[in-house]
Chains A and B, each alone.
Chain A
Amino acid sequence: MLSQWLFYAFATLSVLSALGLILSRHPMNGAMWFVITLVSLAGLYSLLSASLLFALQLIVYAGAIMSLILFIIMFLNIQPADIPVENGRWTYLLGGCLAVVPIGLLLMRIVRSLPGGEVDIVGNGFGKVKSVGLVLFRDWLLPFEIVSILLLVALVGAVVLAGKKEMNQ
């Protein structure tokens, strides 16, 4: 069954590259690993027949947000000497595992109690631009407007914060 194999391939890829993100020392390497995670998540969205979200994940997340992060990492020109020394990294990782594993097991129990189902690619416009847009602009109009205001405020805030030095002079 092709979709099953594709799921396992994408899942392995995303988990391995997430591990690469949290283990790599230089943020640039971590960002490159994270791009692989985002692209494999886009593949998983397409397996769930969310074609609009597949495109948005590639364009907005892997394209816009990651290029912004990469731009800032390059802009700050981080030398190997500037990277914080993390001697207790493995200790914190082990302690974090102790804290996180019970939460994960609890969540997995909750998921097991949910009704399951086989997933295949569905037709009849599920997840296509038109049907998602109809839901967005009929049922979710107010949240959409609130998010647009949030984006505007974030834009103004970013400009004010990053350009502070020039404003004081």
Chain B
Amino acid sequence: MIHDYLFLSILLFCLGILGVISRRNIFTVFMSVELMLNAANLAFIALARLHENMDGHVLAMLVMAVAAAEAALALAVVILLHKHTGKVDTNVFSLLKG
């Protein structure tokens, strides 16, 4: 039964990787990264339940805080890029090349 949760977590993580690989819309890529973080959270909580140990819950809370910080910074960068180029295409990130 606990294996089902871990399989679901693996499946969601792979879907997140697919979203990052196959999409060019910057918001979809960003939300796919969030999906991968959530899959990791699910694995943490399932294993915490398996071992009846609450360290996994604390780690999941820390991951949530990191995701919030990442969301604030990434969206600020998206706003800057949209101001410069008027696009939401990940290909405009190539202007960061040296």
Contact = CB atoms under 8 A, between A and B. Distances in A.
Contact of B12 (A14, A24, A144, A150): A14
Interface string B64-95: 11111111110111111011001111110000
A48 B5 contact: yes
A9 interface: no
Contacts, number: 233
Q: How large is the interface on A (under 10, 10 to 19, 20 to 34, 35 or more residues)?
A: 35 or more
A86 B4 contact: no
A15 B71 contact: no
Most buried by B among A27, A60, A93, A143: A27
Given A111-B6, A161-B77, A164-B80, A61 B22 contact: no
Nearest to B92: A84
Contact of A161 (B1, B49, B67, B73): B73
A84 B91 contact: yes
Interface in B1-37: 1-8, 10-19, 21-25, 27-28, 30-32, 34-35
B38 to A, nearest CB: 6
Contacts of B71: 65, 68-69
B62 A144 contact: yes
Contact of A143 (B3, B27, B62): B62
Contact of B18 (A48, A52, A100, A135): A100
B42 A22 contact: no
Interface string A77-118: 010001110100100110111011101100110011011111
A69 B25 contact: no
A154 B67 CA distance: 11
A135 B76 contact: no
B36 to A, nearest CB: 10
Contact of B3 (A60, A72, A92, A112): A112
Given A4-B1, A24-B28, 13 more contacts: A19-B15, A22-B32, A38-B38, A44-B5, A44-B8, A50-B49, A65-B67, A96-B17, A111-B10, A116-B2, A132-B57, A140-B58, A147-B62
7 contacts: A15-B8, A19-B15, A21-B31, A30-B27, A96-B17, A122-B49, A132-B58
Across the A-B interface, the 4 shortest Cβ-Cβ residue pairs: A154-B69, A27-B27, A22-B19, A96-B21
